[in-house]
């Protein structure tokens, strides 16, 4: 390895008068190298990313350590000196380009502004052109005069990356640069990022998505509760992790190339405030021994350039990666059938067709997935089925009986039969209603139970979604995202449905939590003979849960079939594009 361009030693970040957020973090990075910084929400990865520019969010403080870029120390400098070094030595690409770009500044002026700020107004126009060319953005006048909102999500992110490259920095920190982009766009941005590596820039790629990170990074550092728990070459981390947390994380990443049985990590990640002495992961760790809770383990060398912060790393089992138990069964009678469904959105500009000629059936106990990018019409189809959006043609039937277009016009029995769970666990529960209230209500309104009986049934429902009964008195704000999503599932189950419509139910959750929720859904299918209509943009997730898949492109079904065959040998060009673009942890960077 050549001399490092980025050296971080003993970095500590604290909440002012509060707990440590980042504890004793050390890293180094050589020119042209890409380091993936992986962690779940609350692991401190964004705090580290920003600390690499000697910046912290308000309320946080860097208390000790050193961050050196190309031999220059960044910490302890005043704001004016830092401003000259940020951008030139190290630059930052934020997560959401739609909010990171100033909406009232034109594309060209975004670049000019940075050049001016760094007194680099030499031959400005040419420089702007070359910067944009580097990320394959158009360089013509009309494009330079556009405002950020006139760019696509992918173009916005390219522009954000271009801005980070304007001053030829030695290190670029990318904070979740592809989160929120469609897979195809994500794949192009990742390609762009991979190309940067050829130009001697060192990259720090921060993400929650191991599959994405494994496709761009040479080395991966796994963070948990503010510490690096494991660091090593990508291939080793992915195939032979030595820290139980990394192993658990890897076992919970869904994959469409090799559909696998997902195994979640039990429990919830600890917050910084209630971190106990000793290993922060101990409470969730299958290998825990008393010594784990006594002192924070040191990073131990476990291989060539491979370190793990675990005293029992030698006993860590390799991630249990089993191929998915296939549950395809003989065709049974359809519970839900959709025929020639058509739906439109009426806007002021005119009518947009959201779904056209959609026909499919969901059999008893089966899981059918609707897959597509945003704007493919998958959510509209779900809303038609549950009666939130009146279709403009076709029919939806449950047990062979056609349904009225609106939920309010359907019989109580029909409304009970179909329940929906939404994407965002943070707004699918009423913040002013307790868990008990939320879960008991459907039994009262749809099953006609008395308030007392319905409350008594809450504990059963909570147990069914693997939540302790004591959670019933809590309010949504006191629950984690995964817990909230379980409560939302319990609320749907309380109506004793035949079909559960799951609209992107795990896309807002961390992978280890996602795996547990997906596992729960699979169990519910088996136990209750529940049918699932599973809507997702994530091929890996679909590969792990669905029996059959329908691929949607612009409101039309472009391909359908058994999950395995569609994903392994896609026929339609659109599916081919989706499948090749989706990142896979089974094919990490060499």
Partner 1 sequence: MSATSIADVIGRRLSFTRSWSVRIGLIVLAFVLGVAFIGPYFAPYSPSAIPGIPFSPPSHTYWLGNDYLGEDVFSRVLSGGRTVILYGALATLIAYAVGGSIGLLAGFTRGRLDDVLMRAMDVLLAFPPILFLLVIATGAGSNIFALVLAIAIIHVPSIARILRAATLEVSVRGYVEAAAARGDRTHVILRREILPNIWGPIVADGGPRFTVSILLVAAVNFLGLGVSPPTADWALMISENRAGITINIWAVVAPALMIAALTVSINLIADAIASGLGKSVETEALRR
| Residues of the shown chain interacting with partner 1 in the complex, contacts defined by CB under 8 A | 386-388, 407-408, 410, 412, 415, 418-420, 422-424, 426-433, 438, 441-442, 445-446, 473-474, 477, 481, 488, 491, 495
The string over 109-121, giving b where at least 16 C-beta atoms fall within 10 Å of a residue's C-beta and e elsewhere, is bbbbebbeeeebe
Give Rg (Cα) of the chain.
25
**How many other β-carbons are positioned within 10 Å of the β-carbon of residue 198?**
8
CB of 390: closest distance to partner 1 in angstroms? 12
3-state secondary structure of 316: coil
CB of 213: closest distance to partner 1 in angstroms? 23
The burial of 199, by beta-carbon neighbours within 10 Å (0-12 exposed, 13-18 middle, 19 or more buried), is given as exposed
CB of 577: closest distance to partner 1 in angstroms? 31
Strand order in the sheet with 401-402: 350-363, 334-347, 393-398, 401-402
Here the tokens at position 4 are 């490092």
Which residue number, 90 or 488, has a Cβ lying nearer to partner 1? 488
Which residue number, 198 or 431, has a Cβ lying nearer to partner 1? 431
The string over 480-500, giving b where at least 16 C-beta atoms fall within 10 Å of a residue's C-beta and e elsewhere, is bbbbbbbbbbbbbbbbbbbbb
Looking up tokens 């291939």, which residue turns up? 235
Looking up tokens 């739609």, which residue turns up? 98
Which residue number, 401 or 526, has a Cβ lying nearer to partner 1? 401
Annotate 196-226 with DSSP letters as a single string.
HGGGT-EEEEEES-HHHHHHH-SEEEEEETT
CB of 424: closest distance to partner 1 in angstroms? 6
Query: For residues 247 and 251, what is the distance between their CA atoms, to the nearest angstrom?
Result: 6
Which neighbouring-strand residues pair with 67? 8
CB of 208: closest distance to partner 1 in angstroms? 14
- SS (HEC) of 8-27: EEEEEEEECCCCEEEEEEEE
CB of 383: closest distance to partner 1 in angstroms? 8
Please report the beta strands in 323-439, taking only residues with DSSP state E, as ranges in sequence order.
334-347, 350-363, 367-371, 393-398, 401-402, 418-421
3-state secondary structure of 538: coil
CB of 442: closest distance to partner 1 in angstroms? 6
CB of 385: closest distance to partner 1 in angstroms? 9
Query: For residues 538 and 199, what is the distance between their CA atoms, to the nearest angstrom?
Result: 32
CA angle 574, 576, 579 (to 5 degrees): 110
Which residue number, 215 or 414, has a Cβ lying nearer to partner 1? 414
Which residue number, 489 or 542, has a Cβ lying nearer to partner 1? 489
Which neighbouring-strand residues pair with 249? none
Which residue number, 18 or 286, has a Cβ lying nearer to partner 1? 18
CB of 50: closest distance to partner 1 in angstroms? 17
Which residue number, 295 or 477, has a Cβ lying nearer to partner 1? 477
Which residue number, 110 or 464, has a Cβ lying nearer to partner 1? 464
CB of 413: closest distance to partner 1 in angstroms? 11
Which residue number, 114 or 461, has a Cβ lying nearer to partner 1? 461
Which residue number, 83 or 473, has a Cβ lying nearer to partner 1? 473
């Amino acid at each position: 390895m050549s001399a490092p361009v980025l050296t971080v030693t003993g970095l500590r970040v604290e909440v002012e008068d509060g707990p440590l957020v980042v504890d004793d973090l050390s890293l180094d990075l050589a020119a042209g190298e890409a380091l993936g910084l992986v962690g779940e929400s609350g692991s401190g990865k964004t705090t580290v990313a920003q600390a690499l520019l000697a910046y912290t969010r308000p309320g946080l403080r860097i208390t000790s350590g050193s961050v050196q870029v190309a031999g220059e120390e960044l910490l302890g400098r005043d704001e004016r000196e830092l401003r000259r070094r940020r951008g030139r030595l190290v630059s930052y690409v934020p997560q959401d380009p739609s909010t990171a770009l100033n909406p009232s500044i034109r594309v060209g002026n975004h670049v000019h502004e940075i050049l001016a700020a760094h007194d680099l107004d030499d031959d400005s126009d040419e420089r702007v052109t070359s910067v944009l060319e580097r990320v394959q953005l158009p360089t013509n006048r009309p494009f330079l005069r556009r405002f950020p909102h006139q760019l696509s999500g992918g173009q916005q992110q390219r522009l954000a990356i271009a801005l980070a490259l304007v001053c030829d920095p030695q290190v670029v920190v990318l904070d979740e640069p592809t989160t929120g982009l469609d897979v195809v766009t994500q794949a192009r941005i990742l390609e762009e990022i991979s190309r940067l590596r050829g130009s001697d820039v060192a990259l720090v790629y921060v993400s929650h998505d191991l599959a994405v990170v494994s496709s761009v990074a040479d080395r991966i550092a796994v963070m948990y509760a503010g510490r690096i728990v494991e660091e090593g070459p990508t291939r080793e981390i992915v195939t032979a992790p030595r820290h139980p947390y990394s192993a658990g994380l890897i076992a919970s990443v869904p994959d469409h190339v090799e559909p696998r049985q997902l195994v979640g990590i039990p429990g919830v990640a600890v917050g910084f405030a209630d971190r106990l002495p000793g290993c922060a992961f101990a409470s969730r760790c299958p290998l825990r021994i008393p010594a784990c809770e006594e002192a924070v383990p040191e990073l131990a060398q476990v291989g060539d350039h491979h370190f793990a912060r675990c005293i029992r790393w030698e006993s860590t089992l390799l991630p249990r990666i089993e191929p998915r138990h296939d549950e395809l069964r003989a065709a049974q009678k359809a519970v839900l059938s959709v025929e020639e469904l058509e739906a439109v959105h009426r806007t002021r500009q005119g009518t947009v067709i959201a779904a056209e000629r959609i026909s499919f059936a969901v059999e008893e106990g089966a899981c059918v997935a609707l897959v597509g990018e945003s704007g493919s019409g998958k959510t509209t189809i779900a809303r038609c089925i549950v009666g939130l959006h009146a279709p403009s043609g076709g029919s939806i039937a449950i047990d062979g009986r056609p349904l009225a277009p609106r939920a309010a016009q359907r019989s109580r029995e029909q409304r009970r039969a179909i329940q929906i769970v939404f994407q965002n666990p943070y707004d699918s529960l009423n913040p002013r209603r307790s868990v008990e209230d939320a879960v008991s209500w459907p039994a009262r309104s749809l099953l006609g139970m008395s308030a007392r009986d319905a409350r008594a049934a809450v504990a059963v429902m909570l147990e069914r979604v693997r939540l302790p009964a004591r959670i019933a008195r809590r309010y949504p704000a006191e629950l984690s995202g995964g817990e909230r999503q379980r409560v939302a599932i319990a609320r749907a189950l309380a109506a004793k449905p035949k079909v559960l419509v799951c609209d992107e139910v795990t896309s807002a959750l961390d992978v280890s939590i996602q795996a547990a929720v997906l596992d729960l859904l699979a169990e519910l299918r088996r136990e209750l003979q529940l049918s699932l209509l599973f809507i997702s943009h994530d091929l890996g997730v679909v590969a792990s849960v669905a029996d059959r898949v329908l691929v949607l492109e612009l409101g039309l079904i472009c391909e359908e079939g058994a999950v395995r065959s569609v994903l392994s040998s896609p026929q339609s060009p659109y599916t081919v594009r989706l499948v090749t673009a989706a990142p896979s942890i089974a094919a990490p960077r060499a």
